[in-house]
Amino acid sequence: MSLLVKNASKILMIIIATTILTGGFTSCKSKKKIAREKAAAEYELKVKQAKSDLTAMLNGTTKWSLDEQDSRLNAIKSYNIDDPEVMDLISKVEAKISMDRAEAERLAEEERLKREEAERKLKDASKYQEINNQLAAISTSTTIDAANKKIMLSMDQFASPDVPVLIIISQYGGVNDYDRPTTISKFLNYLKDKQQYKYNVESVKRDSLGKITELELIKK
């Protein structure tokens, strides 16, 4: 009887140990499976989000700056996603960002040139203010004699009475559209008769003596 009890105890211990070992092994396998499933789910989520973000960048529907788009693109590339659609989208977005940067640089350069041109015109306007004032003074003369005296004084600045006066009536794409050419003599008398000066000096050409040989005006 004692021997039977001992054997039964041994068998019970073996069963318990086997159960513990089997349970531990099963638990270990279950954890690995859960980890694999979690990794797969995270990967699928990255793929889905990557497709969504890349498509939005390609369609221009994000509010991200080019730098932010670059940053997101690099993050997606770092995932090493082995998905044909994602890889194709990455290639297209890279090309789009490159073109957008080139266009942004072109616009920035265009804006810079516009600012420089505006600054140059402002500087020229200041430089030509004296001539503008003299021409305006002729048009605002209260009498014909006063206007004629101002015309005579102004004529001293010009190389001859036939110096051409070019009047810009419009500008588009860097191209000027001019009114019918006239001479300084005719133009000064026109100001006297019209009694209004609606122009600004755009440019002036001078000879070696400093006399004006060409006057370019633009209508306000």
Q: Side-chain half-sphere of 190: how many Cα atoms within 13 Å?
A: 10
> Looking at this protein, which amino acid is placed at residue 113?
L
9-21 tens-digit pLDDT? 555 566 555 555 5
Distance between CA 42 and CA 203 in Å, rounded?
Answer: 68
pLDDT at site 4: 46
pLDDT at site 137: 97
Please name the residues in contact with 76: beta carbons below 8 A apart, sequence gap of 6 or more. Answer: 50, 53, 54, 86, 90
From residue 92, give the alpha-carbon distance in Å to each of 57, 58, 72, 77.
10, 7, 14, 13
pLDDT at site 117: 86
How long is the chain? Answer: 220
pLDDT at site 16: 57
The β-bridge partners of 167 are: 217
pLDDT at site 150: 96
Distance between CA 83 and CA 198 in Å, rounded?
Answer: 68
- Taking alpha carbons only, the member of 92, 94, 88 closest to residue 74 is 94
Please name the residues in contact with 101: beta carbons below 8 A apart, sequence gap of 6 or more. Answer: 66
pLDDT at site 220: 86
Q: Can you give the pTM of this predicted structure?
A: 0.48
pLDDT at site 3: 46
60: left (phi over 0), alpha (psi -120 to 50) or beta: left
Low-confidence ranges of the chain (pLDDT < 70): 1-29
